[in-house]
Amino acid sequence: MSSRTVIAVGVVLIGLLFLLFTLVAPKPGVPILFVLPDGYRGAFYVMEDPRSPTVLRPEGNRFTIRIPSKGVLKVKSMMPISGFHRESAQYAGGGTILSLPNNPPDQIALYQAEASGAKPGEPIYGAWVVGTRADLDRHNAGKDQRPAELTRGR
């Protein structure tokens, strides 16, 4: 094989590897904006319920998910928020809720708390906490009241 052939084959292989990487590399999903009632603090849940009439649809360049005052939103499918995506939150009146990777521990912020649904028969849901790091720790220790749909059968 001539050196030109080797170089050409190498260039093609590098191009194919680059193409393969760009096709399979994780891509960020559509950003999520949670809108919570003014002053909301505590855990909130988005739960999949195929009977729910609520369908998550993008609004512009993001999904805007409005959480009701009781903190539980049932949706037809969790698919739009089940993959990799950025999350932010604000109050209905427009006040921003901090959502940085390393929030100051005493600052009220948005934290992703838990997700479930990997086991057959288990409810599919995501849970977030608006509060301090101590509020998140209390939730993760099971000291918050969970929605009835999550506690049945336990």
The helix (run of H) or strand (run of E) holding residue 11 is helix 3-24
The total of other beta-carbon atoms located within 10 Å of residue 131's CB is 23
Confidence class for position 95, pLDDT limits 50, 70, 90: confident
Which of 58-62, 107-111, 114-118 is least confident? 114-118
| Closest C-alpha among 107, 81, 80, 82 to residue 96 | 107
Confidence class for position 25, pLDDT limits 50, 70, 90: very low
Is 67 a member of any domain? yes
Average pLDDT over residues 60-65: 89
Domain count, the chain: 1
Tens-place pLDDT, residues 110-142: 988 887 876 777 788 888 999 998 998 888 888
Structural domain that includes position 113: 32-151
Is 14 a member of any domain? no
Is 11 a member of any domain? no
Is 137 a member of any domain? yes
Is 27 a member of any domain? no
Which residues share a beta bridge with 65? 34
Report how far residue 62's alpha carbon sits from residue 75's, in angstroms, rounded to the nearest whole number.
Answer: 17
Is 21 a member of any domain? no
Is 22 a member of any domain? no
Is 36 a member of any domain? yes
Beta carbons within 8 Å of 44's beta carbon, 6+ residues apart: 34, 36, 67, 71, 72, 73, 127, 128, 129, 130
